[in-house]
Amino acid sequence: MGKEMTKISDPIRINRTTVKNRLTMAPTVKFDYAEDDGKVTPKHIEHYRERAEHQCGMICVEATAVTPEGRFCKTHLGLWEDGQIEGHRTLVEECHKFGTVMLIQLNHTGITANPECGPAIGPSAVPTRDENVLAKEMSLDEIHSMQEAYVAAAVRAKKAGYDGIQLHGCHSYLINQFIALKTNHRTDEYGGSAENRARFACEIIRAIRQQCGDDFIISIRTPGVEPTVAMAIEIAEEYVKAGCDYLQVSTGIEWDDPTLVEDGSPYNLICAMGVRFHEHFKGRVPVSCVNSIFEPDLARYLVENDLVDTVDLGRAILADPAFCEAVLQGAPFVKCFDCPRCQYGPFTPHKCPALLKRS
Ligand SMILES: Cc1cc2nc3c(=O)[nH]c(=O)nc-3n(C[C@H](O)[C@H](O)[C@H](O)COP(=O)(O)O)c2cc1C
């Protein structure tokens, strides 16, 4: 007898936690919801509660700064101090009522720091947002105190009731900067080999495991290509050895490998990275893919053909908080228009279909 087909509605175990279906909400920052104090606001709670209510299996709350200097902007959610725990506790409680597993993404901008928030620092003195300004190369002491900031934020996340955290290891931010050859030119134990470039995150993973316990989910969002798939997998293997429970694959700094996706493929290059990771890690570590999954059929196709373990939804679930019900039950839904710069962020004067629907 062949293996039974996995359905999108099937539960999955991640570490010791059961997620009720294969649909997860990707971290998607709400730039205009927080104030300068980085605390959760009622708008955040309603935003996530609504998506939990509509059957999302797991939500990864948006990029959350581990220090005020590492924020994207002054209105960025934070977990850099204990006073921020309470708001997260309410947010988690509201979503747990619907049986949704809750993670939170932890981040520092590093070299891409916003000068309004703090100086650009990173593994090496490479160009910052301003091509003419170089980042400050972090000393070993600075590396260690930055690692402590990530761990302290994870401990606060656990106190707030989160089931786990996701380290942001993608999209050119600090952990990504450590693994990428373009931004890490160090010759000490944090540069050179894959093991050394992954060390910054691996030491964070081990310390979180020690302080937050065996059943706390430790996930990482990691590039599927950096600058090749094989090299990105080598890094991810280090994360797994350090105790990472879940790999959520997205883009890195040097990720453009068009050979990954065949002509006529129903999913794009970025999704294909997750598919390749799943092929490699199958049966050992669950893997998610992301990007432009706007049709319920595509979400089902990816899981039912055993191409990935979970499907991570960004703009589809922003455009319609009930998108998961469209996937699970075939309910009607509002489709994301795939605007060139997502209009759910404060980027353009136009409104997302979801926001239009309400006004
Ligand atoms: C408004 C907006 C905010 C985002 N914020 C984050 C974030 O906080 N952390 C992150 O890793 N990715 C972030 N992303 C990227 C998404 O998680 C996702 O990878 C991307 O949108 C592609 O998936 P999609 O096609 O399903 O939207 C953001 C994307 C959008 C559109």
Question: Is pLDDT above 90 for 357?
Answer: no
> Which atom of ligand 1 lies at the shortest distance from residue 170's CA?
11
Length of the chain counted residue by residue:
359
124-144 b/e (C-beta count within 10 Å ≥ 16 → b): bebebeeeeeebeebeeeebe
Question: Is pLDDT above 70 for 1?
Answer: no
Q: In angstroms, what CA-CA distances link 129 with 32, 115, 143? A: 21, 9, 21
Q: Ligand 1, residues 23, 25, 28: which to mutate, most atoms within 8 A of Cβ?
A: 28
Given the structure tokens 């006073």, which residue do they identify? 83
Average pLDDT, the chain: 95
Q: Can you tell me the mean pLDDT for 7-22?
A: 98
63 lines ligand 1 (CB under 6 A): yes
Give the pLDDT of residue 337. Answer: 87
Task: Label each residue of the chain as H, E or C.
Answer: CCCCCCCCCCCEEECCEEECCCEEECCCCCCCCCCCCCCCCHHHHHHHHHHHHCCCCEEEEEEEECCHHHCCCCCCCECCCHHHHHHHHHHHHHHHCCCCEEEEEEECCHHHCCCCCCCCEECCCCECCCCCCECEECCHHHHHHHHHHHHHHHHHHHHHCCCEEEEECCCCCHHHHHHCCCCCCCCCCCCCCHHHHHHHHHHHHHHHHHHHCCCCEEEEEEECCCCCHHHHHHHHHHHHHHCCCEEEEECCCCCCCHHHCCCCCCCCHHHHHHHHHHHHHCCCCCEEEECCCCCHHHHHHHHHCCCCCEEEECHHHHHCCCHHHHHHHCCCCCCCCCCCCCCCCCCCCCCCHHHHHHC
Whether 4 is in a domain gets the answer no
Q: Can you tell me the mean pLDDT for 294-307?
A: 98
Given the structure tokens 């309004």, which residue do they identify? 116
108 lines ligand 1 (CB under 6 A): no
171 lines ligand 1 (CB under 6 A): yes
Whether 284 is in a domain gets the answer yes
Residue 314 C-alpha to ligand 1 middle, in angstroms? 5
Give the pLDDT of residue 342. Answer: 80
Give the pLDDT of residue 141. Answer: 98
25 torsion bin: left (phi>0), alpha (psi -120 to 50), beta (else):
beta
Question: Is pLDDT above 80 for 343?
Answer: no
Separation of alpha carbons 180 and 254, rounded Å: 8
Whether 320 is in a domain gets the answer yes
313 lines ligand 1 (CB under 6 A): yes
Q: Whose CA is nearest to atom 28 of ligand 1?
A: 28
Residue 2 C-alpha to ligand 1 middle, in angstroms? 37
Q: Is residue 116 very low, low, confident or very high in pLDDT (cuts 50, 70, 90)?
A: very high
- Which residue type is seen at 21? N
Q: Any idea which of 35-44, 249-258, 267-276, 297-306 has the lowest mean pLDDT?
A: 249-258
Whether 3 is in a domain gets the answer no
Q: Can you tell me the mean pLDDT for 87-94?
A: 98
Give the tens place of pLDDT for each residue, 171-199. Answer: 999 999 999 999 999 999 999 999 999 99
Give the pLDDT of residue 349. Answer: 67
Question: Is pLDDT above 70 for 359?
Answer: no
Domain with 259, as residue range(s), is 12-358
Q: Whose CA is nearest to atom 29 of ligand 1?
A: 28
Cβ 106 vs Cβ 79: under 8 Å = yes
Q: Whose CA is nearest to atom 11 of ligand 1?
A: 27
Give the pLDDT of residue 259. Answer: 87
Q: Any idea which of 2-16, 85-99, 343-357 has the lowest mean pLDDT?
A: 343-357
Give the pLDDT of residue 341. Answer: 77
Q: Any idea which of 169-183, 205-219, 242-256, 344-358 has the lowest mean pLDDT?
A: 344-358
100 lines ligand 1 (CB under 6 A): no
Q: Whose CA is nearest to atom 6 of ligand 1?
A: 28
Cβ 289 vs Cβ 302: under 8 Å = yes
Q: How many CB atoms lie within 10 A of CB 345?
A: 15
Q: Which residues contact 71 (CB under 8 A, 6 or more apart)?
A: 38, 65, 78, 109, 114, 117, 118
Whether 354 is in a domain gets the answer yes
Residue 340 C-alpha to ligand 1 middle, in angstroms? 13
Whether 6 is in a domain gets the answer no
> Which atom of ligand 1 lies at the shortest distance from residue 338's CA?
25
Give the tens place of pLDDT for each residue, 29-87. Answer: 998 899 999 999 999 999 999 999 999 999 999 999 999 999 999 999 999 999 999 99
Give the pLDDT of residue 147. Answer: 98
CA gyration radius, the chain:
19
Q: Can you tell me the mean pLDDT for 235-239?
A: 98
Whether 1 is in a domain gets the answer no
Q: Can you tell me the mean pLDDT for 274-278?
A: 98
345 lines ligand 1 (CB under 6 A): yes
Given the structure tokens 């795939």, which residue do they identify? 338
Give the tens place of pLDDT for each residue, 312-329. Answer: 999 999 999 999 999 999
> Which atom of ligand 1 lies at the shortest distance from residue 345's CA?
1
Cβ 290 vs Cβ 243: under 8 Å = no
Residue 140 C-alpha to ligand 1 middle, in angstroms? 31
Question: Is pLDDT above 80 for 107?
Answer: yes
> Which atom of ligand 1 lies at the shortest distance from residue 105's CA?
9
Whether 246 is in a domain gets the answer yes
Q: Can you tell me the mean pLDDT for 321-347?
A: 87
Give the pLDDT of residue 119. Answer: 97
Work out whether strand 12-14 and strand 17-19 pair parallel, antiparallel, or are unpaired: antiparallel
Question: Is pLDDT above 80 for 28?
Answer: yes
**CATH number for position 166:** 3.20.20.70
Separation of alpha carbons 351 and 264, rounded Å: 31
Give the pLDDT of residue 358. Answer: 56
Give the pLDDT of residue 263. Answer: 85
290 lines ligand 1 (CB under 6 A): yes
- Which residue type is seen at 153? A
91 lines ligand 1 (CB under 6 A): no
Q: Ligand 1, residues 29, 249, 293: which to mutate, most atoms within 8 A of Cβ?
A: 29
**Residue 356 or 143, more confident:** 143
Question: Is pLDDT above 90 for 345?
Answer: no
The total domain count for the chain is 1
Give the pLDDT of residue 190. Answer: 98
269 lines ligand 1 (CB under 6 A): no
Q: Can you tell me the mean pLDDT for 226-239?
A: 97
Residue 1 C-alpha to ligand 1 middle, in angstroms? 40
Q: Of the candidates 96, 94, 79, 206, which has an alpha carbon nearest to the alpha carbon of residue 155?
A: 79
> Which atom of ligand 1 lies at the shortest distance from residue 313's CA?
26
